[in-house]
Amino acid sequence: MCRPTHFNVKYEINPWMRPGDPVNVQKATDQWERLKRTLEESGAQVEVMEPVGADNYPDLVFTANAAVVRGKNALLSNFFYPERKGEQHFYDRWFKQNGYETFKDLHVPFEGAGDALWIGKSKLFCGIGPRTDVRALTLISEKLRDYGAPFKVYGFRLIDPRFYHIDTCFCPLNDQIAIYYPYAFDPVARHNMSNEVELVPVHEEDAMRFACNSIVIGKTVIINSGTEHTASMVQKLGFTVKFVDMSEFMKSGGAAKCCTLQL
């Protein structure tokens, strides 16, 4: 996680962002701290990156977009929008300071674990669309194939600009079942996804409250407040649900999962 020291909405690069709707900075900080405590209470060990020198990068808090990680190797994001490109430096610095080998490609748009979700250890589901180019599938395979067990990379086309990363509309609960918002994907993607994992659809109302931007720790699912219908479905599947209020971060188009990167 990255402390939200500089978090705010200073520009508009997705349909959720409105610079005229200011972030309540203290409330955002409290929400971030609550998320961190909830993660730790659920069994996670949290590493915190301090955003030293990152005054001009309010979205650095969304560490899901830092990289895709396998073992001690990190393929860094190459952000699509100029407003976020400078974040790569800070993530690169943190990974190197913490013993990771980093890789980067400055030509292929790719936004890390926001668009790359592991299904177990053998499948990596990637969103292809507004932020991540289809060429990233080959890039990931080439850069990370020598680390750990073999894995296959899948690409799924995103078509709704509200759900610009795959982690805003798809959440694997384990290596067999996932919740997702169907209409964020094109028909081919929906068909191909269903061949790989059991899919539980989320209503649009809950999807708009980032129900799929959840964090799974074992049998615990940390989900955004106001998504009771989805939470009920998840509980029926045998999971414990913990709600967190991420309303200030939703102003920038993110929620719980966006603020974390699983290492």
Q: Mark whether 259 is an active-site residue.
A: no
Interatomic CA distance for residues 126 and 135, integer angstroms:
11
Q: Can you tell me which residue has the tokens 């701290």?
A: 33
Question: How many C-alpha atoms does 28 have within 13 Å on its Cβ side?
Answer: 24
Q: Mark whether 258 is an active-site residue.
A: yes
Which of 2, 169, 171, 258 is flagged as catalytic?
A: 258
Structure tokens at 191: 């068909």
Cα separations in angstroms, 154 against 82, 115, 119, 141: 27, 11, 11, 10
Which residues face 49 on adjacent strands?
2
Which segments of the chain are extended strands (E)?
67-70, 73-76, 101-103, 116-119, 123-128, 152-157, 170-172, 177-180, 198-201, 215-217, 220-224, 240-244
Structure tokens at 212: 């799929």
Smallest CA-to-CA distance from 70 within 111, 110, 102 is with 102
Which of 165, 169, 171, 212 is flagged as catalytic?
A: 165
Q: CA 40 from chain center: how many Å? A: 18
Mind telling me the catalytic residues? 165, 258
